[in-house]
C-alpha cells in the first residue's frame, strides 16, 4: 500500500486506523473521508474529504484526485442500528460497498472491507465456528455482511480486483465510542467502571461472544493487506478473534483493578436476540495459516490497559 483512501474514517475503526496508517505510510498518503467532519485527530491530522459513499461519482473523483492504490471501505450501519432501520441499512451498507468496489475497479486498486461475526446465524455451529460453514443470518446487518462477502468475491473473480476482508468480532477501544453494535456493552462497561464502579448490562449473563482489542484489529488489517496475494485462499473474509467471554467474566476482570465493581442486568430483548444468533467462539485457523494472523491482548491485559487509558481520558 502506498496511497490509501478510507471511507467511514471517523467511525470506531477508522478514527484509529487512519492515525496508524499515517504513522506507517506517511500523513499525506492516507486520505480520510466521511459524510461529515468532526474535530477528531483523524480529521485534523492529514488530508480529509467529505464523501457520501452512496454517491459513486464522488467516491471515484476523490480516489482519482489523490491517485490512491488502496480503498479501505469502513462506512456502514452497525447491527443494532441496522435492525431499527433495515431499508436504510441495506441502501447504505450494500450501495456503499458496491460503490467502493467500483471505485477500486476503476483505479485498479486494492480493496478492504470488514465483515463480521454477524454474518453467522442461528443455524451456524456455535462453538469453534469454522471458516467455511452455513451462514443464514437473521438480521439485516448479517444479510448485508454475507452479501458483501459474496460481492467482494465476485469482484475478485470477475474483475480481478484484489479484495480482502476480515470477519471481526466485537471490537473494544478507549478512543472512539461504538456506534450501535450488539457488542457495545463490552466498551460501555469500562466507561461505567471508571465513572461509577458499576454497570447495568443489556446483554444477559452467560451470553458468550467473540471480542478483540482494537490494536490487534488494526494490526490484523495491515497484516492482511500486506500479505502475499498468492497465499490467500479465502480473501473475503477471514475469521479473526482474540477472546470469547460473557458479561460476568469481563466484570470479574474489571474487579481485579476496580475493587467492589458490580454488574447487574436489564436485558434489551432486541440486542439479546441478535447476540443469541451469533457464535460463542470462532476458529481463526485459516487466517493463521494463510497470512500469519496473531493477537497480543487477552482479557486481563486488555482490561488493565482500557482502565488506565480511560482514567486518563475521563
3-state secondary structure of 244: strand
Q: How far is CA 53 from each of CA 56, 68, 130, 155, rounded to the nearest angstrom?
A: 7, 16, 32, 18
179 grid coordinates: 456506534
**186-203 CB burial, b ≥16 within 10 A, e <16:** bbebbbbbbeeeebebbb
- Helix, strand, coil fractions of the chain, as percent rounded to 5: 45, 15, 35
Long-range contacts, stretch 304-312, CB < 8 angstroms, 24+ apart: 304/257, 305/174, 305/213, 306/172, 306/174, 306/190, 306/213, 307/190, 307/193, 307/194, 307/254, 307/257, 307/258, 309/174, 310/174, 310/190, 310/191, 310/194, 311/194
Half-sphere exposure of residue 120: CA atoms within 13 angstroms, side-chain side: 31
Contacts of 141 (CB under 8 A, 6+ apart): 77, 78, 79, 82, 83, 89, 93, 116, 118
Establish whether 185 is a catalytic residue: no
* Marked catalytic residue, from 66, 141, 213, 297: 141
Annotated catalytic residues are 141
Amino acid at each position: 500500500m502506498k496511497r490509501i483512501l478510507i471511507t467511514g474514517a471517523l467511525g470506531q475503526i477508522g478514527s484509529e486506523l487512519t492515525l496508524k496508517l499515517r504513522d506507517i505510510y506517511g500523513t499525506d498518503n492516507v486520505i480520510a473521508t466521511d459524510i461529515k467532519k468532526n474535530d477528531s485527530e483523524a480529521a485534523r491530522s492529514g488530508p480529509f474529504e467529505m464523501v457520501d459513499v452512496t454517491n459513486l461519482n464522488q467516491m471515484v473523483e476523490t480516489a482519482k484526485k489523490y491517485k490512491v492504490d488502496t480503498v479501505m471501505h469502513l462506512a456502514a450501519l452497525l447491527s443494532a442500528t441496522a435492525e431499527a432501520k433495515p431499508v436504510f441499512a441495506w441502501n447504505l451498507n450494500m450501495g456503499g460497498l458496491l460503490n467502493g468496489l467500483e471505485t477500486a475497479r476503476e483505479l485498479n486498486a486494492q480493496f478492504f472491507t470488514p465483515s463480521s461475526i454477524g454474518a453467522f446465524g442461528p443455524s451456524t455451529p456455535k462453538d469453534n465456528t469454522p471458516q467455511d460453514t452455513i451462514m443464514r443470518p437473521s438480521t439485516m446487518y448479517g444479510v448485508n455482511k454475507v452479501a458483501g462477502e459474496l460481492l467482494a468475491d465476485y469482484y475478485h473473480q470477475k474483475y480481478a480486483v484484489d479484495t480482502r476482508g476480515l470477519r471481526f468480532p466485537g471490537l473494544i477501544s478507549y478512543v472512539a465510542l461504538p456506534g450501535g453494535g450488539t457488542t457495545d456493552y463490552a466498551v460501555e462497561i469500562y466507561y461505567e467502571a471508571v465513572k461509577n464502579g458499576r454497570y447495568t448490562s443489556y446483554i444477559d449473563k452467560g451470553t458468550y461472544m467473540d471480542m478483540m482489542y482494537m490494536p490487534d484489529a488494526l494490526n490484523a488489517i495491515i497484516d492482511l493487506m500486506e500479505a502475499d496475494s498468492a497465499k490467500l485462499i479465502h480473501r473475503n473474509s477471514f475469521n479473526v478473534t482474540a477472546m470469547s467471554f460473557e458479561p460476568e467474566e469481563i466484570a470479574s476482570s474489571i474487579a481485579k483493578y476496580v475493587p467492589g465493581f458490580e454488574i447487574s442486568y436489564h436485558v434489551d430483548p432486541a440486542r439479546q436476540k441478535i447476540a443469541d444468533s451469533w457464535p460463542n467462539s470462532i476458529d481463526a485457523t485459516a487466517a493463521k495459516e494463510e497470512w500469519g494472523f496473531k493477537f497480543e491482548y487477552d482479557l486481563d491485559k486488555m482490561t488493565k490497559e482500557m482502565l488506565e487509558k480511560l482514567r486518563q481520558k475521563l
